[in-house]
Structure 1
Amino acid sequence: MKRSLFKTGDGSYTLHIPEWDEQYHSKHGAIAEALHVFIKEGLYHWFSKNKSETISILEIGFGTGLNAFLTFLETETNSFNVAYTGVEAYPLQIDEISKLNYFSLLNTSEENFLKLHVSPWEVKTKLSEKFQLTKQQRLFSEIDAENTFNIIYFDAFGIRVQPELWTETIFKIMYKSLKPDGVLVTYAANGNARRAMQAAGFIVERLTGPPGKKEMLRGTKVKG
C-alpha cells in the first residue's frame, strides 16, 4: 500500500495513505495528539491513581512508533519503568521511518527513535534501564492475553476505513487483556465505538479531545 509523507498542524510528520485518504496520526498535530490522548489521558491518568513502579502497556497499532517513543522519553524523567508491547500487522519500512522528524522536534537523539524500529520482532528488548519493548506482528484479533496490561493505547486506523477493528469482539479482547482498574484510551469519539466498548464491559468516559477533535474516549475495566 502506497504511503506518503504528510506534515501535520504542529509541524510533526505522519504518513498518508492515498487509497484510504487516511493518516497514521491526526492532521492537526501528530505529536500533540499522542501527548494528549495516550500520555496525558492514558499513562499519567493511570499512574496518578496507582503509583506503580512498573507499568505494562499494550499499543494497538505500533505504526510509526511515536506513542512508544513518547512513552520511552517519559521513563527518562519519571520514577516508573515500562514494559511496552506494540502490536502491528503490517510494519513500516525503515526508509519510511527515517523520514519522520519526531526526534528533532522533541530535542532528543535519532538513535533512540530508530532503536524502536530496528529491534527484533517477537523478542523482549531492553532499550534502557527503564523501558522494555516487545513488538508483535499479528492481527489485533489474534491477541491472546489475560489480565496482563495496565494501559492500552488503542490507536487503530479510524472506523471509517477499518470498522472491523472497532467492534464489540475486538474490545472484548482488549477488556480481557487488561488488569482490573486498567484503562484503554483512544482518539476516537464515535458513538458506535463507544457502544462497542460498553458492550464489552468498559465504563466509558467522554473526555476533551486533542487539537482538532472535540472529544476522545477512555474506558476502564472495573474490579469485579
Structure 2
Amino acid sequence: MKADVRLVVTADGSHTAVNQALSKTYHSIHGAYQESQRVYIELGLLEAFKRFSDCDLHIFEMGFGTGLNALLTAREAQTHQRSVRYTAIDAYPMPLEDARQLNYDQFLGTNYLEQLHMSAWNQSILINPFFTLIKVEETIQTYWPRERFHLIYYDAFAPTAQPELWEPEIFKQLADWLYEGGMLTTYCSRSYVQRNMRAAGLTVEKHPGPLHKRDILRAVKPGRPGSLASPIF
C-alpha cells in the first residue's frame, strides 16, 4: 500500500512530505535538509566512517520515506570514497509520482533521487560506485536482517503518531542488529525513549540538535568498534 502524502517546502528551501493519514511530516518544517544532515550524517555517518575506518559500512534505515537520508548518504559515500551497503524498510512507500516532485537533487546538486525511488524492491541496486541500496517493503516488527549493521538511522514517525515503534522491545531488537560499537541516531530525545534505549543495553548520548531542536540522540552498543563477531544471523 502506498502512503497518501502531500509535499511542502520547509524553511531551508528543501521539501518534506506530510503523511495525510497520520498528519505528520517526514522531516522538520524548520528545514528537512538541515535536520537530516545533523541527525543522520553528522551525528551518525561521519562518526561511523571514523569508528569503522577499515571496513565497508552496513547501514539500516527505519523509514525510507522521501529518500533524503539515503540521498545524503550516497553523496557522502562517493565524496569520502567509502563503500556503503544501505538497507531501508518502509511499509507504506511514497508514490513515485510524488517522489518525482521532490526538489532534493536540485537543492543539493545531486542526480540520485529518481534512481533511489525507482529502484526495485528486495534487490541490491548499485546507485553509485560506493553506495548500494536495498529497499524492503515491510514493517520493522516482521523484518529480520541477514547481516548486522554498523549504523542505524531511526527515522520512524513521532511517538505521538506511532508509539509502538518506540517501545523497549523495538530497541532491544535494534540493539541485537548492531555490531559492537555500532550506533543508532534519531531526532527523538524524549525521556522515556532514552530509558527504553538504556533498557536495551545501549549507551545513550544527548547531542545538540538542528535548528529549533535542542537535543537529539546517539545510542551506542557497548564493545570495541570494529569487532565483527557473529556477522550473520
Same fold (TM over 0.5): yes
Rounded to whole Å, the distance in 2 between the matches of 1:19 and 1:119 is 25
Q: CA deviation at 1:143?
A: 2.5
Query: Identical aligned pairs, as a percentage?
Result: 37
1:141: which partner in 2? 141
1:15: which partner in 2? 17
Deviations 1:65-98 (A, max 9, x none): 1000000011221131100000111111111101
User: What root-mean-square deviation, in Å, do the aligned CA atoms of Structure 1 and Structure 2 show?
Assistant: 1.4
Deviations 1:10-53 (A, max 9, x none): 01111113443310001111010010000000001122223134
1:169: which partner in 2? 169
Q: How does 1:88-167 map to 2 (within 5 A)?
A: 88-109=90-111, 112-145=112-145, 148-167=148-167
Are 2:91 and 2:137, in contact at CA under 8 Å, matched by a contact in 1? yes
Q: CA deviation at 1:212?
A: 1.3
Aligned residue identity for 2:139: L
1:75: which partner in 2? 77
Rounded to whole Å, the distance in 1 between the matches of 2:28 and 2:143 is 26
2:38: which partner in 1? 36
Find runs of 4+ consecutive structure 1 residues off by over 2 angstroms: 17-21
Are 2:155 and 2:186, in contact at CA under 8 Å, matched by a contact in 1? yes
For structure 1, list consecutive stretches of 5 or more residues without a partner in the other structure. Answer: none
Taking a change above 3 Å as real, the CA distance of residues 192 and 147 of structure 1, as seen in their structure-2 partners, is farther
Taking a change above 3 Å as real, the CA distance of residues 113 and 2 of structure 1, as seen in their structure-2 partners, is closer
Are 2:26 and 2:157, in contact at CA under 8 Å, matched by a contact in 1? yes
Deviations 1:106-136 (A, max 9, x none): 0122xx2111111110111112221111001
Normalising to structure 2: TM-score of the pair? Answer: 0.91
Are 1:43 and 1:151, in contact at CA under 8 Å, matched by a contact in 2? yes
- The alignment of Structure 1 onto Structure 2 pairs a total of residues equal to 222
Are 1:147 and 1:179, in contact at CA under 8 Å, matched by a contact in 2? no
1:85: which partner in 2? 87
Q: Which residue of the other structure, out of 52, 55, 78, is the alignment partner of 2:54?
A: 52
> Which secondary structure state, in structure 2, belongs to the residue aligned with residue 5 of structure 1?
strand
Rounded to whole Å, the distance in 1 between the matches of 2:190 and 2:88 is 24
1:203 matches 2:203: yes
For structure 2, list consecutive stretches of 5 or more residues without a partner in the other structure. Answer: 225-233
Aligned residue identity for 2:17: L
Rounded to whole Å, the distance in 1 between the matches of 2:132 and 2:22 is 33
> Which secondary structure state, in structure 1, belongs to the residue aligned with residue 141 of structure 2?
helix
Deviations 1:139-183 (A, max 9, x none): 111222376100000000001111100011111111011111000
Taking a change above 3 Å as real, the CA distance of residues 85 and 147 of structure 1, as seen in their structure-2 partners, is closer
1:218: which partner in 2? 218
Are 1:89 and 1:137, in contact at CA under 8 Å, matched by a contact in 2? yes
Taking a change above 3 Å as real, the CA distance of residues 2 and 129 of structure 1, as seen in their structure-2 partners, is closer
